[in-house]
Amino acid sequence: MTFSNPIILTVLLVYLALLLVIGVWASKDSGDVAGYFVAGKKLPAWVIAFSSNATGESAWLLLGLTGMGYLVGIHAFWVVLGEVLGITIAWTFIARRFKEYTDRYDSITVSDFFEDRFRDRAQTIRKVASVIILSMVAVYMAAQLTAAGKAFNSFLGLNYVTGVLLGTAVVLFYTTVGGFKAVAYSDLIQGIMMFASLVLLPIVGIAAAGGWTTMMATLQAEDPTLLMPMGSLGITTAGVISAISFGAVGLAFLGVPQLLVRFISARGVDQIPSGGLIAVISVMIFDSGAVLGGMAGRALFPGLEDSETILPTMAHELFPALFTGIFLVVVLAAIMSTADSLLILASSAVVRDVVQKIYRPNTAESKLSFYAKATTILLGGAAMLGALTEARLIFWFVLFAWSGLGSAFVPPVLCSLFWKRTTREGIIAGMIAGFVVTVTWVLAFKSMTYDLYEMIPGVGVGLVTIIVVSLFTQPPEEAVVREFELVDDELGPALSPKKAGGSPGATGRPTATV
Amino acid sequence: MFFGLPWTAWLLIAIAILPSLAIVLRFYSLHHEEGAWTEEAE
């Protein structure tokens, strides 16, 4: 494959042009802070569902998970289990409550929610959250742009640096011009393309391998552990830890800010049930398709030096040039749909959380919107420099940033939504503890514990810290407890019918100001 | 073996998909409101 292949190049140019058109189309709604960061809270279920899946599943899904299916076979279904369960719990148990609170508070960011939920007048939660978001997003974003450079290089033979520059320029254009609306609608298109590719890849791969049973027989002959749920490690300590670590990748879906902000941007709580149905079914197909595609690739092309090149190899060997171009676009789509959301998240942490809420509350909306766009460009530029200079280990950085954000935010989100005794001090301590444990685990303990994934100790310590610190600090003020009970009463249980006749006035909003 | 895969592999695939599908369908049937799919944004 070279840059001179006109069919691949045409598909790529059409896709890039489409993104630019979306940016311009969405630009009329990006003139104020709420418009730029949450699309004015007007998005329908199918947009937030595909947008959250496309954001959560970066290039890691297409290159990393297919590579995992290639390398370990059925054992990779532990990742599918973790991700599907994580997304299911997020949409059924967390989304409605979170949306209800954020509508009451008129929140735009996750920090807005925490600050109002705990009446954090000193704004400490906002400050801690902003530091964590900015540090992790920088790592995550640089990894995505690195992946863009590699994708252009491996599919088109384009120079790595040019690939990074081109990827950065396109993402920055439509994100800056169109704001969250452009990000969400481009995510929708990108998500649909990822969906179609991950349906097509295993079907074509399995057919090329001679059908399902022939493919399984080929894999069985090559390495029988490819068909065993516990893989080559079997039921040993290392095998069990490997399975749990694979499954734990899904924990972050319960609270990373770039996904929670999708719930904030929904048109209303009524969008959550249909959004959940779309999100859960599509992630089942995303993940199962990636693993089965990788397994088919193993039967067809055994002995690849780098298992994460199986998708480009299959795209090149099994499909005509038009589809090779489409697969390049799909890999770029997975990268861009994550990168654009990270940019919006990081610029909201700077402009909304720091400038508007801490330093200059009276700044005009138009000025804030300008700051937001300028910050997006600056952050994108900084990540681009990181991608050009740092060590190019894509998936290590992605999983590290994913677990850093997950460990810092999942325990506070769970406790603030489901435990009324949670205190402001507990949230601050738990957020810091979860984050610090994750980083420390990677640096000092991971290699000693059969590579136990850092999010498990991170989330565990974060939860225990919140519970212990909350129990040893002054209980939340009465208004906070009453508000918790009202929301609880209004929404009712997630999986059983709501009792008739909730408390009068339960729907009253807004209730909190700081 | 069943369709070329050990039954334990089928069990893992079933655990990965069926409980979540049951939960989300139950949630949808309880909380879905008429018109939520088609209602236009303001």
ipTM computed for the complex: 0.89
Per-residue confidence band for A157, with pLDDT thresholds at 50, 70 and 90: confident
Could you count the other beta carbons within 10 Å of the beta carbon of residue A498? 14
| pLDDT above 70 coverage of chain A, percent | 95
Could you count the other beta carbons within 10 Å of the beta carbon of residue A186? 28
| pLDDT above 90 coverage of chain A, percent | 43
Mean pLDDT of chain A: 87
The average pLDDT across A307-319 equals 88
Q: Which residues of B touch A212 (CB under 8 A)?
A: 3-4
Q: Is the predicted pLDDT of residue A3 greater than 70, yes or no?
A: no
A80, A216, A229: residue with CB nearest B4: A216
Interface check for A42 against chain B (CB to CB < 8 A): the answer is yes
Residue in A with minimal Cα distance to B28: A273
Interface check for A491 against chain B (CB to CB < 8 A): the answer is no
What pLDDT was estimated at residue A352?
Answer: 83
What pLDDT was estimated at residue A346?
Answer: 86
Q: pLDDT tens, A71-110?
A: 999 999 999 999 999 999 999 999 999 999 999 999 989 9
Concatenated DSSP letters of chain B = -BTTB-HHHHHHHHHHHHHHHHHHHHHHHHH--TTTTTPPP-
Provide the shortest C-alpha distance from residue B5 to chain A (in Å): 6
Between A410 and A376, residue with greater pLDDT: A410
A269: nearest Cα among A116, A2, A491 = A491
Do the chains contact at A277 and B6, CB–CB below 8 Å? no
A77, A267, A276: residue with CB nearest B41: A267
Three-state DSSP state, A57: coil
Do the chains contact at A281 and B11, CB–CB below 8 Å? no
Q: pTM to 2 decimals?
A: 0.89
What pLDDT was estimated at residue A51?
Answer: 85
Is the distance from CB of A138 to CB of A386 less than 8 angstroms? yes
* C-alpha dihedral, A365 to A366 to A372 to A375, nearest 10°: -130
A112 contact partners, CB below 8 Å, separation of at least 6: A102, A105, A106, A126, A352, A353, A357
Q: Is the predicted pLDDT of residue A153 greater than 50, yes or no?
A: yes
What pLDDT was estimated at residue A395?
Answer: 67
Three-state DSSP state, A106: coil
Is the distance from CB of A283 to CB of A87 less than 8 angstroms? yes
A464 contact partners, CB below 8 Å, separation of at least 6: none
Do the chains contact at B32 and A273, CB–CB below 8 Å? yes
Do the chains contact at A284 and B15, CB–CB below 8 Å? no
> Which range in A23-32, A307-316, A356-365, B30-39 is most confidently predicted, on average pLDDT?
A307-316
Three-state DSSP state, A410: helix
What pLDDT was estimated at residue A275?
Answer: 94
Q: How far apart are CA A100 and CA A488, in angstroms?
A: 10
Q: Is the predicted pLDDT of residue A156 greater than 80, yes or no?
A: no
Q: How far apart are CA A55 and CA A335, in angstroms?
A: 9
What pLDDT was estimated at residue B37?
Answer: 61
Could you count the other beta carbons within 10 Å of the beta carbon of residue A443? 10
Between A162 and A498, residue with greater pLDDT: A162
Q: Which residues of B touch A78 (CB under 8 A)?
A: 12, 16
Do the chains contact at B9 and A272, CB–CB below 8 Å? no
Q: Is the predicted pLDDT of residue A508 greater than 50, yes or no?
A: no
Interface check for B17 against chain A (CB to CB < 8 A): the answer is yes
Between A2 and A480, residue with greater pLDDT: A480
- Say if residue A458 is exposed, middle or buried (CB neighbours under 10 Å; 0-12, 13-18, 19+): buried
Do the chains contact at A272 and B33, CB–CB below 8 Å? no
Q: For A266, phi and psi rounded to 5 degrees?
A: -65, 150
A30 contact partners, CB below 8 Å, separation of at least 6: A36, A177, A178, A179, A180, A181, A182, A369, A373
Per-residue confidence band for A510, with pLDDT thresholds at 50, 70 and 90: very low
What pLDDT was estimated at residue A56?
Answer: 80
DSSP bridge pairs for A43: A266
Interface check for B38 against chain A (CB to CB < 8 A): the answer is no
Interface check for B14 against chain A (CB to CB < 8 A): the answer is no
The average pLDDT across A410-415 equals 97
Interface check for B19 against chain A (CB to CB < 8 A): the answer is yes
What pLDDT was estimated at residue A511?
Answer: 40
Residue in A with minimal Cα distance to B41: A42
What pLDDT was estimated at residue A81?
Answer: 96
Per-residue confidence band for A507, with pLDDT thresholds at 50, 70 and 90: very low
Least confident span in A27-41, A256-270, A362-376, A405-419: A27-41
What pLDDT was estimated at residue B41?
Answer: 44
Do the chains contact at B15 and A496, CB–CB below 8 Å? no
Q: Which residues of A351-373 are buried (b: 16+ CB within 10 A; e: fewer)?
A: bbbbbbbeeeeeeeeeebbebbb
Q: Is the predicted pLDDT of residue A339 greater than 60, yes or no?
A: yes
What pLDDT was estimated at residue A461?
Answer: 97
Between A186 and A98, residue with greater pLDDT: A98
Per-residue confidence band for A415, with pLDDT thresholds at 50, 70 and 90: very high
Concatenated DSSP letters of A291-317 = HHHHHHHHHHSTT-SSGGGHHHHHHHH
Per-residue confidence band for A201, with pLDDT thresholds at 50, 70 and 90: very high
A91, A96, A220: residue with CB nearest B24: A91
Q: pLDDT tens, A436-449?
A: 999 899 888 888 88
